[in-house]
Structure 1
Amino acid sequence: MMKFVFRTLLLSLLLPVFAGQASATDDAAALLQRADEVRNPRQSYRLTSTLIEYRNGKEISRNQLAVFTRYEAEQQQFRNLIRFLQPRRDNGKLLLKDGADLWFYDPAGKASIRISAQQRLLGQAANGDVVTTDLRRDYSAVISGTETLNDAEGQLRQTVLLELTARHPDVTYPRMQLWLDPKNGQSVKTALYAQSGSLLKTAWFRHYKDALGQLRPQETIIIDGLNPQLVTVIQSQDHQAMDVPAQWLQRQALESFTGR
């Protein structure tokens, strides 16, 4: 009984107050929305993303991407265009995500191919790890409890654990767990699961720095669920506010795209 009372008290201290909310589900949704707003600016912008893949602690590949994101406020969703920059052999390849549709364009074949959101494009980092997503739109959330974690920078963090279940089949991961700091909405850790329930990846967020008016993670460490010696580090740099043209975000425009 005392353990239950202590846990309830701790949770009440950790959770921010959300006026007018009537249930734990509402609290979970509000926490998830706050985490979304910290990770992804609610505006259109551009950034550079570098993906470094390691096996047994040694770098085995490096990719650089230009990510263009347009936020559609009415639909409350992001539309993404990703241009491959490095290595040189991949320069000019494009990935377009428009709603549930995902298209890959290779200038060598001058054809766009519709791909499943579950297909991987860059080693251990799936397309769902590099495009901007709105978790509250794609997942329902419940509060599972609280947990004290050492974060990816070795700092002790008091976190709330959210259990996320996909609302539709088009998302990359059907189930997620998200540990976040309720004081500031910062994501600390996520666990990403397959439909079977097996752990696919664990991701840690670190190096929160100011970007477009908010402290945001500049680095994500992704550890393979089956082989922890496979690690991908995603570095996000050079966030710039940008009015990403809607015409860029159309399948028909991929062949003629020249933006940088």
Structure 2
Amino acid sequence: MKKTLMTLALALAGQLALAAPDAQSILAGSDAVRNPDQPFGLIVSLVSYKDGRENERSALAVYSRADQNSGQFRSLLRFVSPARDAGKLMLKNGNDLWFYDPASKASVPISPQQRLLGQASNGDVVTVNLALDYTARLDGEEDIQDGDRQSRHCYKLHLSARNGGVTYHAIDLWLDKDGYRSRKAKFYSESGSLLKTAYYRGYQQVLGRERPTETVIIDGLNPKWVTVMRNSDFAWREVPEAWLQRDYLPRFRAE
């Protein structure tokens, strides 16, 4: 009898283990929702608000492709507006980030944590595979309100940075159980302070699957400071290797 009970218990434990999702696989699934699997381009528009009033806005053209060896994305970003910034470039290659200003003809290293506009940092606008930069832990399931104030039953992942070159030290991420669509995230500094909260919404069919087209970013200290980041004009496109080289930045010309 004891042997039978033990056998049943072991069998049940095995079934539960098989049923339990792997946190890293869930995170990789969420990356696949956000990131197309071929070279692509899009326009990122950012608008920041303070106390309900528009403060500033910017737009960038983004060209991205995944590195064949590492799987991490490499991106070239061209500032489209405002006029004072038009033609400036930002290049992400691995965890290295450079900023190029045609006026000075100099490319300088910058930090992904550096503020780009409002609550959006440089690291928020470049394409990233979180599963390569973070170790995920499944913290269970939770009911949350998404960016449209709709109730969602989600997996909650806690992400810990694998190295110091990433934008955030830690992230709490809530994703749909079905389809792994990101709904909400909280981003933390190394000291554990909440830097910002983001809501992912505006899911649409683009480049082969349903992807988020809008992110609402709320400051961790002042909830009245909000930045809205919208993605549009998605397109499959060639992203030449030359575009992703720092030495090529002075010669880049927009098509």
The answer to whether structure 1 residue 236 and structure 2 residue 226 are counterparts is no
Work out which of the residue numbers 151, 154, 174 in structure 2 matches 1:156: 151
Counterpart in 2 of 1:214?
209
Contact 1:25 1:142 in 2 (8 A): no
- Correspondence list, 1:80-119, <5 A: 80-119=75-114
Counterpart in 1 of 2:24?
29
Distance 1:23 1:73, change over 3 A: farther
Contact 2:118 2:226 in 1 (8 A): no
**Cα distance in structure 2, aligned partners of 1:198 and 1:25:** 31
Give the CA deviation at 1:26: 6.8
Counterpart in 2 of 1:7?
none
Distance 1:179 1:252, change over 3 A: same
Counterpart in 2 of 1:165?
160
Number of residue equivalences? 241
Secondary structure of the equivalent of 1:62? strand
**Cα distance in structure 2, aligned partners of 1:25 and 1:48:** 38
Contact 1:25 1:141 in 2 (8 A): no
Contact 1:94 1:104 in 2 (8 A): yes
Secondary structure of the equivalent of 1:158? strand
Q: Which structure has the larger Rg over C-alpha atoms?
A: 2
Give the CA deviation at 1:120: 1.8
Unaligned runs of 5+ in 1: 1-19
Give the CA deviation at 1:118: 2.1
Secondary structure of the equivalent of 1:128? helix
Work out which of the residue numbers 39, 42, 45 in structure 2 matches 1:44: 39
Distance 1:24 1:259, change over 3 A: farther
Unaligned runs of 5+ in 2: 1-13
Contact 2:111 2:122 in 1 (8 A): no
The answer to whether structure 1 residue 128 and structure 2 residue 115 are counterparts is no
TM-score, with length taken from structure 1? 0.89
**Cα distance in structure 2, aligned partners of 1:58 and 1:198:** 26
Give the CA deviation at 1:25: 9.5
TM-score, with length taken from structure 2? 0.91
**Cα distance in structure 1, aligned partners of 2:49 and 2:27:** 30
Secondary structure of the equivalent of 1:254? helix
- Match for 2:162: what amino acid? R
RMSD over equivalenced CA pairs, Å: 1.7
Give the CA deviation at 1:206: 0.5
Secondary structure of the equivalent of 1:173? coil
Counterpart in 1 of 2:9?
none
Moved runs in structure 1, 4+ residues, more than 3 A? 20-26
Percent sequence identity over matched residues?
A: 51
The answer to whether structure 1 residue 138 and structure 2 residue 133 are counterparts is yes
